[in-house]
Amino acid sequence: MTNTRFLDRRSPPHIVTLVAIAGLSALTMNIFLPSLPSMAKDLGVSYGTIQILISGYIAVTALIQIVIGPLSDRFGRRPTVIGSLVILLLATLVCMVATDIYTLVAARMLQTAVVTGIVLSRAIVRDMVPMEEAASMIGYVTMGMTIVPMIGPTIGGVLGDAFGWRANFAALLVLGTLVLALVAVDLGETNHNRSASFSAQFKAWPGLLASPQFWGYTAVVTFTSGAFFAFLGGAPFVGATLMEMSPSTLGLQFIFIAAGYMVGNYLSGRYARRFGTFAMMLAGTIMLIAGTVLPILFLLAGASSALAFFGPQVIVGFGNGLTLPSANAGVVSVKPHLAGSASGLSGAIAMGGGAATSVYASAILSVETGAMPLLLVMLACGVLAIAALLFLHYADKSDSWRDDER
């Protein structure tokens, strides 16, 4: 592993900096979730309309990730991260003072630039270490990152109760400024084999897109994270409307899934090198399915409390934490010289799928249906993730047979 010196931009970034840029990206997505109902009321729109701040954000994030990877492969990781943070700060300022839904949505879409933190933290890790070690390091980065969004909805709910929903964006503005300062003094460039041009990158894409392994790993990421995005889309309705929770109380419920995610990432960081990436992904997807089946059984048995719905989400988060570091390490290791592009393209596909599941999960929920449709969508994502793993296993075996024949 390349030696790092904290607060020295001439060396690769410290893990603290990678956690900060990835954590800010996650926090930007979820800090105001408990305030969504009050935002809708304040701006005079329906919950379905205000929910575009989540589903639209995920969709635009998917699109810009296609650009982020090639930008960082061409111009470097450092300038791409710094530029994205500047855009985030400007957009957040507009969100904070917006007085109509149109301005708020437009500024919110610009905030998607911050997803650079998640995309490039993975590419930076792959620049620094080989695949198995990358899975472990990505696990530690994501574990540390998860601490930030784990408490984000809780803090956002408290801020919303005390000062109104605009305080959430004020908090993002302050934190974004601090992260930008940290990046400026610590994030040394790690991409020392930059592509000659964008056209050269895109000419290399067919080889990436023709790889069954790339699609296998990407499918695992897409369906595993799809369960989480479905939860993001539907949980505010379940908590605020069906269970009549206040923003601060609803915010506390997000700790379950985030805490499980953090523990899963810790175990992934510790054991990925020992047991291998496939074993970690298989264990994680099985846990994801278990975490969705349990609340379904509770509902069928007549248990409709907040604990019966939100409590088992700790298992869903745990499964995601086991699976995603290894799947993402696989994505950026298929073609290491295109790590940024692979991370961005895979992330775009995963976010596109996430946007679809988020919109669908929120659209099919109603007072009459209860929470069951959301849980069924999450279960379907887990089953599809298992199918993707089986495809990946078959693709890997086929490649090894071809290598033996050669």
User: Which one has a higher pLDDT value, 86 or 204?
Assistant: 86
User: Which one has a higher pLDDT value, 275 or 181?
Assistant: 181
CATH number, domain of 76, equals: 1.20.1250.20
Per mean pLDDT, which range of 137-141, 258-262, 267-271 is the poorest?
137-141
- Which three-class secondary structure state does DSSP give residue 368? coil
Structure tokens at 130: 């080989």
Its domain, for residue 41, covers 15-401
Average pLDDT of the chain is 84
User: Which one has a higher pLDDT value, 222 or 396?
Assistant: 222
Residues in the chain: 406
**pLDDT at res. 111:** 95
At 124, which amino acid appears? I
pLDDT at 374 > cutoff 90: yes
Structure tokens at 321: 């934490």
296 within some domain: yes
104 within some domain: yes
When pLDDT is averaged across residues 150-177 and rounded to a whole number, the result is 88
249 within some domain: yes
The total domain count for the chain is: 1
CB 39, CB 209: distance < 8 Å:
no
pTM: 0.72
CA separation for the pair 136, 131 (Å, rounded): 9
Q: Which of 8, 28, 30 is nearest to 17 (CA)?
A: 8
DSSP secondary structure of 26-93: HHHHHTTGGGHHHHHHHHT--HHHHTHHHHHHHHHHHHHHHHHHHHHHHH-HHHHHHHHHHHHHHHHH
pLDDT at 91 > cutoff 90: yes
Q: What CA–CA distances, in Å, run from 86 to 93, 112, 176, 200, 330?
A: 11, 12, 9, 28, 30
When pLDDT is averaged across residues 212-229 and rounded to a whole number, the result is 91
250 within some domain: yes
**pLDDT at res. 400:** 45
The predicted-structure confidence for 297-327, as pLDDT tens digits, reads as follows 999 998 888 899 999 999 999 999 899 888 9
166 within some domain: yes
pLDDT band at 144 (very low <50, low <70, confident <90, very high): low
SS3 content of the chain, % helix, strand, coil (to 5): 85, 0, 15
pLDDT band at 405 (very low <50, low <70, confident <90, very high): very low
Structure tokens at 58: 């995920």
3 within some domain: no
Structure tokens at 142: 């994501």
When pLDDT is averaged across residues 158-173 and rounded to a whole number, the result is 91
In the numeric block, the tokens 């075996």 are attached to 397
Per mean pLDDT, which range of 66-80, 216-230, 285-299 is the poorest?
66-80
**pLDDT at res. 198:** 64
395 within some domain: yes
Percent residues over pLDDT 90 in the chain:
32
pLDDT band at 83 (very low <50, low <70, confident <90, very high): very high
When pLDDT is averaged across residues 199-215 and rounded to a whole number, the result is 76
pLDDT at 406 > cutoff 80: no
7 within some domain: no
CA separation for the pair 341, 126 (Å, rounded): 12
